[in-house]
A and B are shown apart, each in its own frame.
Chain A
Amino acid sequence: MMTTPVKPEIQVVYQRPDSFTDLTTHYCPGCTHGIAHRLVAEVIDEMGLREKSIGVAPVGCSVFAYKYFNMDFVEAAHGRAPAMATGIKRVLPKNTVFTYQGDGDLASIGMAEIIHAAARGENITVIFINNAIYGMTGGQMAPTTLPGMKTTSSPFGRDVELSGYPVRMCEILATMEGAGYIVRRSLHDAKHIRQAKKAIRLAFETQERGLGFAMVELLSSCPTNWEINPHEALDFIAERMVPVFPLGDYKVNEELKH
């Protein structure tokens, strides 16, 4: 047989996931919320879960998350997404139920709901965006704000004597027996974004395999309220946030390791 010349084939290497709607997000330019949204949509597409997924949007910058995902969604009260997800999952156990929450929502006002959802081993997936600040209300101190970090409600820098220390959610939730998968990843460069996507996939697999509560914490940027440009904001994550919120696997159910 002779070798035959072949016309170069055009491959699509990357395109907008099907689980995304065509709407442009309301997020500020360079905000990594959009990356987190996209990763969730990609994982849902790849696992074929779109038609049985029910998302729970939070209060915070991602309050309109339901507009961007092409799937059933509800909108929770501030901090209550894990309780709402519990209600949905308990009456529709075959559906895939996930929450998408920021740090004010999950680590401050919703602390009780997230801890008890984990303690009960609710079979839900939680995507937790930690950008160390309240974005939607205009840059106030969050429970995750770094010591010394200036915000509109810690204008002289977070004084730990006055307002305490950052809350580390993965470390807390990893102590819960009901938790199946608790990890922290970052969105500050392509390599870490790829790792974040793998983690999100495992967090959904935890749910599909009935292995309990799963949470992926994603270190994210807020260029607008940090008052730096999007590129510098990614550097801020790598240089300032990662030392306070170490990346890693805090709890991984043995069955997920195979």
Chain B
Amino acid sequence: MPVKGWIEVHDLHCKGCALCVSACPQDVISLDMERLTPKGYHPAHLIADGCTGCAICAIVCPDAAITVYREAPVHPQKAPASA
């Protein structure tokens, strides 16, 4: 199963520059044209499943506006070899 990730975009910091939109390898971010931030920008948001939490959007974000989360892959705990 692919790793599940998601992002939160901080409305106060996002300026809608869209650098995250073009950088996203999964193509799952776009600007939200329905909404304006308090400063008057269309903020970035997730538009589809497929975010892997790779954080490339946050790395290219000039405003440290993106927090990236990821569900840690669940590895079944292995029994000790001697058991």
- Give me the interface of A with B, judged by CB distance under 8 Å: 1-17, 20, 22, 24-25, 27-35, 37-38, 41, 189-190, 193-194, 223, 229-231, 234
Does the CB pair A8–B77 fall under 8 Å?
Answer: no
CB closest residue in chain A, given B62 = A34
CB closest residue in chain B, given A7 = B74
The binding surface of chain A is classed by DSSP as loop
Does the CB pair B13–A24 fall under 8 Å?
Answer: yes
B28 at the interface (CB under 8 A from A): no
Does the CB pair A234–B19 fall under 8 Å?
Answer: yes
C-alpha spacing A192/B22, complex, angstroms? 16
C-alpha spacing A7/B71, complex, angstroms? 10
Q: Which residues of A contact B23 (CB under 8 A)?
A: 189-190
Scan residues 6-28 of chain B and give those whose CB is less than 8 A from a CB of chain A: 10, 12-13, 15-19, 22-23
B29 at the interface (CB under 8 A from A): no
C-alpha spacing A22/B63, complex, angstroms? 11
Among A10, A14, A41, A230, the residue within 8 A (CB) of B17 is: A230
Q: Which residues of B contact A34 (CB under 8 A)?
A: 61-64
Shortest distance between the CB of A235 and any CB in chain B (Å): 10
Instruction: Give the 5 A-B residue pairs with the shortest CB-CB distance, closest first.
Output: A34-B62, A30-B17, A29-B15, A29-B17, A14-B58
Does the CB pair B12–A24 fall under 8 Å?
Answer: yes
CB closest residue in chain B, given A193 = B59
Q: Which of A14, A27, A33, A231 has the most CB of B within 10 A?
A: A14
Does the CB pair A2–B72 fall under 8 Å?
Answer: no
Among A2, A16, A31, A190, the residue within 8 A (CB) of B60 is: A190
B76 at the interface (CB under 8 A from A): yes
B2 at the interface (CB under 8 A from A): no
Shortest distance between the CB of B29 and any CB in chain A (Å): 13
Among B18, B41, B60, B68, the residue within 8 A (CB) of A193 is: B60
22 contacts between A and B (CB under 8 A): A1-B77, A3-B77, A5-B76, A7-B74, A8-B4, A9-B71, A12-B67, A13-B53, A13-B58, A13-B68, A14-B67, A24-B12, A24-B13, A24-B15, A25-B62, A29-B15, A29-B41, A34-B63, A35-B62, A38-B62, A190-B23, A230-B19
Does the CB pair A14–B66 fall under 8 Å?
Answer: yes
B36 at the interface (CB under 8 A from A): no
B5 at the interface (CB under 8 A from A): yes
Q: Which residues of B contact A1 (CB under 8 A)?
A: 77, 79-80, 83
Shortest distance between the CB of A65 and any CB in chain B (Å): 14
Q: Which residues of B contact A28 (CB under 8 A)?
A: 15
Given that A32-B62, A190-B23 are known contacts, is A8 also in contact with B18, CB under 8 Å in the complex?
no
CB closest residue in chain A, given B72 = A9
